[in-house]
Amino acid sequence: MNFNLLKPTIQEFISANLKADITKLLFKGSPFEGVSVQELANQIVVKQKAVTKLSTWFAAENIYYSEKVSIEQTSSETTAQYKSKIIKGASIVDITGGFGVDCFYFSKQFKEVVHCEINEKLSSIVKHNYQQLKKENITTFFGDGLQFLKNSEANFDCIYIDPSRRNNLKGKVFLLKDCVPNVPENIDFLFSKTPQILLKNSPILDITSAINELKFVKEIHVIAIQNEVKEVLFLLEKDYIEEIHLKTINFLKKGTQEFNFNLNEHIHSNYSEPLTYLYEPNAAILKSGGFHQVSKQLGVFKLHQNSHLYTSEKIINFPGRVFKIEKVISYDKKKIGKFLTDKKANITTRNFPKTVALIRKETKIKDGGTTFLFFSTDLNNKLICLFCSKIEK
């Protein structure tokens, strides 16, 4: 840490230049002795990212920001607050601590929190920031979190893990066993130190594959913000062998959308030709794979087994986008444009052999306007185009 960055005059400079052109700032060089222009630029760029993602840190004084990649990889306050409420106990250890956002929110629910971070500089930054945020029940530990557990005689009510999804040999990885730490390989040891494990996964990891790699999975939480999946959480409870509960939540500017189901329910969807209304599930539901459950629970019909679009005669409160179907035609690239007066439309494809880009090229339809076109396949395996108007909630 370069403590010169915390001097009042430099902190004022950082705050005053949050909207500055970073390229021009780098060209001018640093106006301060003992602080490089690169260090100043990093603090400015990262603090800009904290405005919405980490508003508590942004609002506090003398916060020291880590490298840009640490902020990009850290949980947002929205997801951190959510996950802190799905686990309980008196003590928790985060063995992959990072920038410390998750531990900050764990400290609101647990009496004792331990933050482990293998990067010495980042560990020092987190410790400093907790002091600025007046967090007294979080202990920071510099070192390997797994080794910390092996060397500690203490047990914890929960272990939290956010494995790194990159390694030196393979780059991005898609299996838990290839992440660091290797949770499947160490799971028996981990359960010797705690009765529950909360595991954060990237949206790119497959849910079924992760279940097969783990044991005692009790709950899976798919978290989206503004219809973009940010995290998939696995809650493991020692010796749990009952139904796996899958919970989805989509945080929007105006409230939240939630949809929950049991993973291994043997149910089937009902199907129909397009009716009056069309429904597109939010990103969290699409990631969860609960397509039959949507049809069954909400009483809507699927257009096709693989389309993941739903329809009904009467409008319902649906966890996703809702549209009024104005017209349905068989797919014909020559005819579609004839029904658009301004040659503009918002295009979505679901279970359709052509991409949005190819459809635009073939039909000459530009992006925009108030018409929404859904290209899909109906229950008779015919390619169709649905002309829709969006219903705002």
**H or E, element range at 186:** helix 183-191
Whole-prediction pTM value? 0.92
Residue with tokens 């040891």: 189
**H or E, element range at 251:** strand 245-252
Query: What is the model's pLDDT at position 242?
Result: 95
- Using DSSP, state whether 122 is helix, strand or coil: helix
One DSSP character per residue, 209-220 reads HHHHH-SSEEEE
Question: Is residue 278 domain-shared with residue 252, that is, in the same domain?
Answer: no
Percent helix, strand and coil across the chain, each to the nearest 5: 35, 30, 40
Query: What is the model's pLDDT at position 167?
Result: 55
Give phi and psi for 287, each to the nearest 5: -70, -35
Question: Is residue 123 domain-shared with residue 240, that is, in the same domain?
Answer: yes
Contact 157, 91 (CB under 8 A): yes
In the numeric block, which tokens belong to residue 73? 């990889």
State the total domains in the chain: 3
Question: Is residue 160 domain-shared with residue 122, that is, in the same domain?
Answer: yes
What is the Cα Rg of the chain in Å? 25
Largest CA distance in the chain: 74
Query: What is the model's pLDDT at position 28?
Result: 85
Spacing of C-alpha 240 from chain mean position: 26
Query: What is the model's pLDDT at position 368?
Result: 92
| Rounded (5°) CA angle 200-50-247 | 30
Give domain status of residue 133, yes or no: yes
Give domain status of residue 59, yes or no: no
By DSSP bridging, strand 255-262 and strand 196-201 are unpaired
Q: Residue 23 sits in which domain range?
A: 3-53
Question: Is residue 81 domain-shared with residue 213, that is, in the same domain?
Answer: yes
Give domain status of residue 58, yes or no: no
Domain boundary among 243, 262, 281: 262
Q: What is the pLDDT of residues 148-197, one digit of tens each?
A: 999 999 999 999 999 987 655 555 667 889 889 999 999 999 999 999 99
Give domain status of residue 66, yes or no: no
* 306 CB-contact burial (10 Å; exposed 0-12 / middle 13-18 / buried 19+): exposed
Question: Is residue 181 domain-shared with residue 330, that is, in the same domain?
Answer: no
Domain boundary among 210, 233, 262: 262
| CB atoms near residue 305 (< 10 Å) | 15
The CATH number of residue 107's host domain is 3.40.50.150
Domain boundary among 213, 238, 262: 262
Give domain status of residue 62, yes or no: no
Contact 223, 229 (CB under 8 A): yes
Blockwise average pLDDT, block size 10, the chain, 393 residues: 90 91 87 90 92 93 90 91 95 96 97 97 96 96 96 96 72 78 96 97 91 96 96 97 96 94 89 97 96 95 95 96 96 85 91 95 92 96 96 84
Question: Is residue 300 domain-shared with residue 209, that is, in the same domain?
Answer: no
Give domain status of residue 63, yes or no: no
Query: What is the model's pLDDT at position 171?
Result: 57
Question: Is residue 126 domain-shared with residue 250, that is, in the same domain?
Answer: yes
Half-sphere exposure of 329 (CA within 13 A, CB side): 15
- Cross-strand bridge partners of residue 180: 164
Question: Is residue 239 domain-shared with residue 111, that is, in the same domain?
Answer: yes
Give me the sign of the Cα torsion angle 106, 108, 111, 115. Answer: positive
CA quadruple 203, 206, 207, 213: dihedral, nearest 10: -120
Question: Is residue 111 domain-shared with residue 207, that is, in the same domain?
Answer: yes
Question: Is residue 345 domain-shared with residue 318, that is, in the same domain?
Answer: yes
Question: Is residue 131 domain-shared with residue 217, that is, in the same domain?
Answer: yes
Nearest to 180 by CA among 162, 196, 198: 162
Question: Is residue 257 domain-shared with residue 288, that is, in the same domain?
Answer: no
| Rounded (5°) CA angle 326-332-334 | 100
Give domain status of residue 64, yes or no: no
